[in-house]
Amino acid sequence: MAFIDYYKILGIDKTATDKDIKNAYRKQARKYHPDLNPNNAEANKKFQEINEANEVLSDAEKRKKYDKYGENWQHGEAYEQQTRQQQSRRSSNSGSGGFEGFGGGFGGGEDFSDFFQSMFGGAGSAGGGRRTGYRGQDLNAEYQLNLQDTLQTHKQTLTVNGKNIRITIPAGIENGQTIKIAGHGGAGVNGGPAGDLFIKFNIPADARFKRDGANLYNTIKLDLYTAVLGGDLMVETPTGKVKVKVKPETQNGTKVKLKGKGMPVYKKENEYGDLFITYDIQIPVNLTDKQKQLFEELSKS
């Protein structure tokens, strides 16, 4: 656990007055406040640091303690006392923020650093600092799906802060899209409404298909003979293989549209995008003498 220089975080020196601290905090907060930096995890983290620094330096008692031990905080009686009490704290502090069952989900919990906790104890975010809203806090989470999962609307049960919630993930949802689950954020204060839960869906690039909205794209290999003479070809779609007729004398790079074989259109029932396939014609290799001869005849015909 490293020492945290709260003065440095706020950009002030040790002689700073209460007013200097307040001003420095506000100045930094105007830059990094989450409300001014939507969807910016980095700024959010920075703001938590600023908040923590302010929590300590704006509180006369905490500041005094912090100044007294400074970088030698581990030798202070406070640390020793904390260490003894830590076991019990650890167990009571667990369970704040974070979502079970969510890949990399994060709650709105403004947990202070381990350094803070070992010096001042407790989770700390309760006393002062950023005032909590009347309306409950919005929570953010991320959830990963693959392309196949988005072919049909489906229901999913997620565990958020120990509570099970059932959500409906509409077919055709796209990578990076966010769904709002109203009222499933943090609880409100004094009868204020609860916040909302925002779930952002991550859909990694699919190995088979490229996607653009509801349309899908794929390049498939076509042998020279079928390209020249025409024939049938089995083509993979998200919902299985379909037979496609190849026209005689098909040119390399020809694009064919398979209507309605793309992704479902988001929130439009029974509407589908198209699947576009591009032919990559394969020139035969390792020809036998006989085959070479036939090609020569062809070229002279």
Partner 1 sequence: MKTEHLVAVSEFCVYHNVDNTFIHSLQQAGLVSITMVKEDNFIPETELKKLEKMISLHQLDINVAGIEAITHLLERVEQMQQRLIGMHNKLRLYEEE
Q: Does 162 contact partner 1 by CB under 8 A? A: no
Q: Does 163 contact partner 1 by CB under 8 A? A: no
- Tell me which residues in 174-233 interact with partner 1 (CB under 8 A): 174-177, 189-190, 192-193, 195, 205, 207, 210-212, 217
Q: Does 26 contact partner 1 by CB under 8 A? A: yes
Q: Does 36 contact partner 1 by CB under 8 A? A: yes
Helix axes 60-69, 77-93, angle to 10 degrees: 120
Q: 162-185 burial by CB neighbour count: b if 16+ within 10 A, else e? A: eeeeebebbbbbeeebeeebeebb
Give the contacts of 9 (CB within 8 A, at least 6 positions apart): 28, 49, 50, 52, 53
Rounded distance between C-alpha atoms, residue 91 and residue 107, angstroms: 19
Tell me which residue of 213, 217, 226 sits closest to 266, measured CA to CA: 213
Residues in the chain: 301
Size of the site for partner 1 (CB under 8 A): 29
List the structure tokens of 171: 């077919």
Q: Shortest approach of partner 1 to residue 205 CB, angstroms?
A: 5
Q: Shortest approach of partner 1 to residue 137 CB, angstroms?
A: 10
Q: Shortest approach of partner 1 to residue 69 CB, angstroms?
A: 31
Measured from the CB atom, the residue of 55 and 119 that comes closer to partner 1 is: 55
Q: Does 89 contact partner 1 by CB under 8 A? A: no
Measured from the CB atom, the residue of 69 and 198 that comes closer to partner 1 is: 198
Q: Does 46 contact partner 1 by CB under 8 A? A: no
Rounded distance between C-alpha atoms, residue 47 and residue 35, angstroms: 11
- Choose, by CB under 8 A, the member of 14, 19, 30, 245 that binds partner 1: 30
List the structure tokens of 273: 């995008």
| Contacts with partner 1, residue ranges (CB under 8 A) | 26, 29-30, 33, 35-36, 38-39, 130-131, 133-135, 138, 174-177, 189-190, 192-193, 195, 205, 207, 210-212, 217
